[in-house]
Amino acid sequence: MKNVFDKIQALDEVPSYSKHERFVEGIINAIDAKVIVIGDPLPSVNAMISGLGYARETVMKGYRELQRRGIIESKNRLGYFVSNDNTRHALKVAVLMYTIDTFQDQFYRSFRNGLDENVHADVFFHHGNIEVFEAIFSMVKAKYGMYVISPIHHPRTKELLNGIPRNKLVMFDRYEPLDGKFNYVVQEFEKSSYAIFEQVADVIKKYDEMIFFHNPDSLFPPEIVRSFKKFIKNYGIKGKVLREYIPGSVEKGVVYYVNENAELWNLLKDCDTKKIKPGKDIGILSHNDEPVKEIVGNGITTYSVSFAEMGKRVARAVMKHEQVSEVIPTELIRRNSL
């Protein structure tokens, strides 16, 4: 039984865990590692108190929770025994996403479809706000069997994510570095954006100027801004970054790189009003594809990863408990606007 104690005490390295959380997760980890199997006895309450230095109530509370989950059972006057090695039975997954939008919805639908019917997924939105991110963490820590997280680019993110055991974490969408090995299915922004810009460079050069609308306070990846500035410099293209699209300001001879949908709709509305034809009088490029962009403006040229594929891959990692380190490829979707 020494290894059971070892699995519990190994979680001392997760400072955000309470003793109760270490106890429950440690026993689950021991079952997952096949240190103990169905039918094996667990240390008695007194043995746990002696071996761990935990209070009796902490041990009893932990055993009650494991019973409630159907993982262990109590046999009268014989103690506690492992009754189920499927620790993912009635698995609860916490999904932390940026916000509600079309491509995030594509991810979630694909992810949800890839989970077994008995898996329960709770979705939380942090909106790129670190205070909200931290509040969600304090609410969900050690209460879920898996954590599927789209992280924030912030100095405090690493510390928060280090509070999750690596075998219970799958990072998705944005990559943030952590110590050691961890699971992720993400997209890459800087090199991939530059490569896309190069693919359409010949078309862009047919226009007089390229304008990139970017609000520095938005959730849009700053790596793409760097790629844009590097691209226009290296290719000798006249270009600039503006904070936002001002309705009515559309001009012929410009390639507009627009990513906020509200700005894209305003741009297209102005094109219709002024009889300006995208793909002829102006060019339009957008990041992140979604079905509506196939239709509006006679088709908007985009570049994007497949969020449906990302969701499918993350679901597989959750269900099969497999190691994954994957960057979903970014692809150019050529349509009539560029």
pLDDT of residue 197: 98
Burial of 81 (0-12, 13-18, 19+ CB in 10 A): middle
Residue 46, H or E segment: helix 45-52
Which pLDDT tens digit goes with each residue over 66-103? Answer: 887 778 888 878 899 998 887 765 678 999 999 888 88
User: Token pair for residue 270?
Assistant: 């102005």
Residue (of 30, 29, 25, 53) closest to 40 by Cα position: 30
pLDDT of residue 2: 67
pLDDT of residue 82: 92
Residue 224 Rama label (left phi>0; alpha psi -120 to 50; beta): alpha
CA distance 178 to 161: 8
With contact defined as beta carbons under 8 Å apart, do 125 and 79 qualify?
no
pLDDT of residue 1: 58
Distant-in-sequence, close-in-space partners of 246: CB < 8 Å, separation ≥ 6 = none
Q: Which residues of the chain, if any, have pLDDT below 50? A: none
- Integer CA distances (angstroms), 223 to 188, 254, 283, 305, in order: 9, 23, 22, 16
Which pLDDT tens digit goes with each residue over 36-51? Answer: 999 999 999 999 999 9
Residue (of 244, 252, 238) closest to 280 by Cα position: 252
pLDDT of residue 90: 61
Portion of the chain with pLDDT greater than 90, in percent: 64
**Which residues are paired to 93 by β-bridges?**
121, 146
